[in-house]
Amino acid sequence: MVAVAILAAGRGTRMKSNLPKVLHTLGGRSLVQRVLDSCHLINPSRQLVIIGYEGEQVKQCLQSIPSLEFVEQREQLGTGHAIQQLLPHLQDFDGDLFVLNGDAPLLRPETLQNLLHIHKTNQNAATLLTAHLPNPKGYGRVFCDNNNLVTQIVEDRDCNAAQKKNHRVNGGIYCFNWPQLAQVLPKLSPNNDQKEYYLTDVVQYLNPVMAVDVEDYLEINGINDRQQLSAANDIMQDRIKNRWMAAGVTMIDPDSITIDDTVKLEVDVIIEPQTHLRGNSVIGAGSRIGPGSLIENSQIGQNVTVLYSVITDSEVASGCRIGPYTHLRGEAKIKEACRIGNFVEIKKSEVGQKSNVAHLSYLGDAILGEQVNVGAGTITANYDGVNKHPTIIGNRTKTGANSVFVAPVTLGEEVTVAAGSVVTNDVPNQALVIARQRQRIIEDWKNKIQQK
């Protein structure tokens, strides 16, 4: 049986932030959530999160994950002290306990699985993840004998000059035989530069403790300051982009593109510069997104083009052309082969197949049929100051330039709306509606004025 404990009680002083460190986000998800996600292959029967600094906030952020147990560390006296808090909670537990630093968001699930495998086959008291870093500054140094058995871990600030030359570092990722760890936890003392109880000191009392080098040292990156957060972001972005490029996606100037790891892309998608794909967005095969676009929590069909546009919480079906400068939001649904163009905002509306909303329009709470042509500058006046109201426009209707629909209002099929109309009443099928004053011409006006 395996349990997991996540260390998430520290403030993260080096972040210089009001937010607890583990709640800082990387690609849309908090550090601690990412650490929890990395555990899915080891199948823990219990997951304990040790909280302290702004613990309520951490708890709230993890609310949606079922069956988490929160253990409070009232004073943050070090990583060893944090794990001591588990003693009353794991009294009857006799399996292995993974301890993961809450600030190591780049761990791969396979790495933990491998660590568990080695831990079990060697019947270790503890097994920990190590790496040889080009720049080991800030990390605890791990000292081993010739068989990778750990003799000592010394924190960076406690190292002497000779010890600092050791580039093998502690990743802060451990698998312990819990009953053995529980026995020695009370022996820790705050005998170091920080006057903290270090979890790493337990290696002196346990036997055997084995170090396992991680294949990709970038995985153990701990986030302690904003520079490390930004570096981790770069690493994660590289991973995500390389994966999609390997799967048949073209990226033009990938350094200027960001993609959340929750996004899904189909084959032959082309992503142009300065484009950002977020949340649970899906981009269909052959679509071309960007340059300069943001797509968040939206589903884009196949062979769609999106140019300099923002699309959030919306759906765009196959064959549509979006932009430049379109804003779709709040459950806009654009059906197949539509053209939504320059300076158009669409909110919570449905646009039927092969319709055009090409220039300078606002559609809110509207339902448009198929092959509707929305003239330049058409506006749905959907808000009376208190409530929102719907506008319904039938198939093949054409709205004239600069027309306003004062909702609630319904236009039938094949209606023609004269330019500049303010439509306040429903219009039947195939009618022409003109809702404006007739033009008047006063001849010779200029002369009359001058004579006065």
Enzyme catalytic residues:
359
User: Residue 199: which of ligand UD1, Mg ion, none does it interact with, CB under 5 to 8 A by kind?
Assistant: ligand UD1
Q: Which residue has the tokens 């209002």?
A: 409
Among 30, 38, 73, 258, binds ligand UD1 (CB under 6 A): 73
Question: Per CB under 6 A, which of residues 254..283 are in contact with ligand UD1?
Answer: none
Nearer to ligand UD1, 39 or 344 (CB): 39
198 contacts ligand UD1 (rule: CB under 6 A): yes
**Strand 409-411 vs strand 391-393: parallel, antiparallel, or unpaired?**
parallel
Among 54, 96, 103, 272, binds Mg ion (CB under 5 A): 103
Contact 316, 331 (CB under 8 A): no
Contact 182, 199 (CB under 8 A): no
Token digits for 15?
Answer: 């972040």
- Smallest distance from ligand UD1 to CB 235, Å: 15
Among 2, 3, 5, 7, binds ligand UD1 (CB under 6 A): 7
Contact 218, 235 (CB under 8 A): yes
Alpha-carbon distance 275 to 298, whole Å? 14
Region of 177-185, 195-203, 253-261, 439-447 interacting with ligand UD1 (CB under 6 A): 195-203
User: Residue 433: which of Mg ion, ligand UD1, none does it interact with, CB under 5 to 8 A by kind?
Assistant: none
* Cα–Cα nearest to 380, from 347, 404, 413, 352: 404
User: Residue 174: which of Mg ion, ligand UD1, none does it interact with, CB under 5 to 8 A by kind?
Assistant: none
Q: What angle do CA 141, 227, 138 make, to 5 degrees?
A: 15
Nearer to Mg ion, 103 or 272 (CB): 103
Nearer to ligand UD1, 35 or 257 (CB): 35
Rg (CA), the chain: 31
9 contacts ligand UD1 (rule: CB under 6 A): yes
Q: Which amino acid is at 79?
A: T
- What distances in angstroms separate CA 49 from CA 45, 58, 85, 102, one per listed residue? 14, 9, 11, 9
Alpha-carbon distance 328 to 306, whole Å? 11
Question: Per CB under 5 A, which of residues 215..244 are in contact with Mg ion?
Answer: 222, 224
Cis peptide, bond prior to residue 408, ω within 30 of zero: yes
User: Residue 211: which of Mg ion, ligand UD1, none does it interact with, CB under 5 to 8 A by kind?
Assistant: none
Alpha-carbon distance 443 to 1, whole Å? 95
Alpha helices of 204-322 — where are they, by DSSP H? Answer: 226-246
Nearer to Mg ion, 224 or 342 (CB): 224
Nearer to Mg ion, 12 or 290 (CB): 12
Among 27, 39, 71, 81, binds ligand UD1 (CB under 6 A): 81
Residue ranges in contact with Mg ion by CB under 5 A: 103, 222, 224
Residue ranges in contact with ligand UD1 by CB under 6 A: 7-10, 21-22, 50, 52, 73, 76-79, 81-82, 101-104, 139-140, 153, 155, 169-172, 198-200, 222, 224
